[in-house]
Structure formats: structure tokens, C-alpha cells
């Protein structure tokens, strides 16, 4: 099956269509939850859970 929109085109194997549908639904739900957290004031570091990985990489901030 082939899907296209303003961003581009993607092909999905026939035997993977149901998986793609289910995984897409889960992904959209997760993204909607992230957006709600941003609206409530959280930062990308919080929402994407980046604090530990940034610390491990040695990121420094002047505050």
C-alpha cells in the first residue's frame, strides 16, 4: 500500500499494513501527549527525557 501527502510518499508492505496502522495510532497518541505536556510548560529536555544523556555528553549551561 502507498501513502502520500505534503511531506512525501511511503510504501507499506501488504503483510505489515495492520502493524503500521497500530503503530501509527500509538505514535500519534504519544505525540498528542507530548504536545499536552508542552502546553503545560514542560521543556523538550523534560518531555524527551534528555537530562541524563545530556549530562553524560558533558553539556554545560551558564546557569
Quick one: cell of 25? 495510532
Q: Which of residues 11-40 bind another protein (CB under 8 A)?
A: 11-14, 16-21, 23-28
CB of 41 to another protein, least distance (A): 26
| 43-56 as b/e: b if 16+ CB within 10 A | eeeeeeeeeeeeee
Q: Does residue 47 touch another protein according to CB under 8 A?
A: no
Taking CB under 8 A as the binding criterion, the range among 6-14, 33-41, 44-52, 55-63 that sits at the site for another protein is 6-14
Q: Which residues bind another protein (CB under 8 A)?
A: 1-14, 16-21, 23-28
Amino acid at each position: 500500500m502507498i501513502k502520500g501527502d505534503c511531506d512525501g510518499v511511503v510504501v507499506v508492505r501488504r503483510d505489515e499494513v495492520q502493524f503500521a496502522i497500530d503503530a501509527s495510532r500509538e505514535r500519534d497518541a504519544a505525540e498528542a501527549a507530548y504536545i499536552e505536556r508542552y502546553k503545560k510548560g514542560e521543556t523538550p529536555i523534560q518531555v524527551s527525557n534528555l537530562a541524563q544523556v545530556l549530562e553524560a555528553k558533558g553539556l554545560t549551561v551558564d546557569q
